[in-house]
């Protein structure tokens, strides 16, 4: 029995997409971030950082319960538990780890910086927002060039690196569509992922 506590942010989507794509049954518990539900004593007992997503697996390794936060840790956990979406060829592991970290640690924090600095004080932060927007565009240009040569984020195999990147991409596309426009190879890749039933189920927040 797995419980997922999340909201429809890129980090929340990343975790939910992982569960759906790995075929793991779970109960979804929506967390209202505006109401501060991530700061209640009950939530902080699961994740003292007071942030979503959090996953609780009553049937962790050795049959013991596991509580885990950090969207990319949840991605890895789901992939390892299900034996899915990790590179089969060990020679591809370095490229896989690189793609996963690029997607998880470059894309989502930059997206967060753009959203949060525009939200907090839009006028005062224009140069800051623009700096992060240029950073984002630079990252997407590199991904676009990569997708000209490879089918998926880490090469020929579809892995959780794709899921991580997709969560950030799709969140930005919904919020500021022009930030993902003009990258034809990314669009080709995203279109394929858009059509995956597991991803469609996961995005219904
Ligand atoms: N590095 C963490 C970041 C988690 C995070 O930033 N969660 C945000 C939503 S995307 C959150 O819960 N924000 C509410 C808050 O900080 O109070 C991850 O990958 O899961």
Task: List % helix, strand, coil for the chain (3-state, nearest 5).
Answer: 60, 10, 30
Q: Which atom of ligand 1 is nearest to the CA of 70?
A: 20
List pLDDT tens digits, range 91-132: 899 999 999 999 999 999 999 999 988 877 777 788 889 999
Please report the pLDDT score of residue 91 as a whole number.
87
List pLDDT tens digits, range 147-171: 999 999 999 999 999 999 999 999 9
Q: How far apart are CA 192 and CA 6, in angstroms?
A: 25
What is the whole-number distance in angstroms between the Cα of residue 154 and the centre of ligand 1? 25
Please report the pLDDT score of residue 130 as a whole number.
93
> Quick count: other Cβ atoms within 10 Å of Cβ 19?
26
List pLDDT tens digits, range 3-62: 999 999 999 999 999 999 999 999 999 999 999 999 999 999 999 999 999 999 999 999
- pLDDT interval class at 172 (50, 70, 90): very high
Give me the mean pLDDT over the 133-155 stretch. Answer: 98
> Quick count: other Cβ atoms within 10 Å of Cβ 45?
9
Atom 13 of ligand 1, residue of closest alpha carbon: 51
> How far is residue 125 from each of residues 116, 129, 131, 134, 203, measured CA to CA in Å?
10, 6, 10, 14, 30
Give the angle subtended at the CA of 105 by the CAs of 102 and 109, to the nearest 5°.
125
Nearest to 26 by CA among 61, 68, 58: 58
Give me the mean pLDDT over the 60-86 stretch. Answer: 97
Please report the pLDDT score of residue 125 as a whole number.
83
- pLDDT interval class at 185 (50, 70, 90): very high
Q: Percentage of residues in the chain with pLDDT exceeding 90?
A: 90
Structure tokens at 27: 């109960």
> Model pTM?
0.96
Q: How far apart are CA 18 and CA 26, in angstroms?
A: 11
Residues 71, 99, 203, 76, CA torsion sign:
negative
Average pLDDT, the chain: 96
Atom 1 of ligand 1, residue of closest alpha carbon: 70
What is the whole-number distance in angstroms between the Cα of residue 17 and the centre of ligand 1? 16
Q: How far apart are CA 130 and CA 32, in angstroms?
A: 29
Structure tokens at 97: 């780890």
């Amino acid at each position: 029995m797995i419980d997922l506590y999340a909201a429809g942010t890129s980090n929340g989507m990343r975790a939910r997409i992982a569960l759906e794509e790995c075929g793991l049954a779970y109960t979804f518990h929506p967390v209202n971030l505006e109401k501060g539900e991530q700061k209640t004593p009950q939530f902080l007992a699961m994740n003292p950082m007071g942030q979503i997503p959090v996953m609780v697996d009553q049937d962790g390794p050795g049959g013991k319960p596991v509580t885990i936060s950090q969207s990319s840790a949840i991605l890895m956990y789901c992939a390892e538990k299900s034996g899915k979406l990790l590179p089969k060829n060990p020679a591809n592991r370095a490229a896989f780890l690189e793609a996963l970290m690029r997607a998880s640690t470059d894309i989502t924090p930059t997206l967060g910086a753009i959203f949060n600095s525009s939200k907090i004080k839009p006028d005062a932060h224009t140069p800051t927002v623009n700096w992060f927007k240029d950073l984002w565009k630079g990252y997407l240009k590199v991904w676009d060039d990569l997708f000209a040569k490879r089918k998926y984020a880490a090469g020929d195999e579809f892995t959780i690196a794709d899921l991580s990147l997709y969560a950030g991409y799709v969140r930005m596309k919904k919020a500021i569509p022009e930030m993902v426009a003009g990258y034809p190879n990314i669009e080709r890749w995203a279109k394929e992922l858009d059509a995956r039933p597991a991803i469609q189920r996961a995005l219904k927040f």
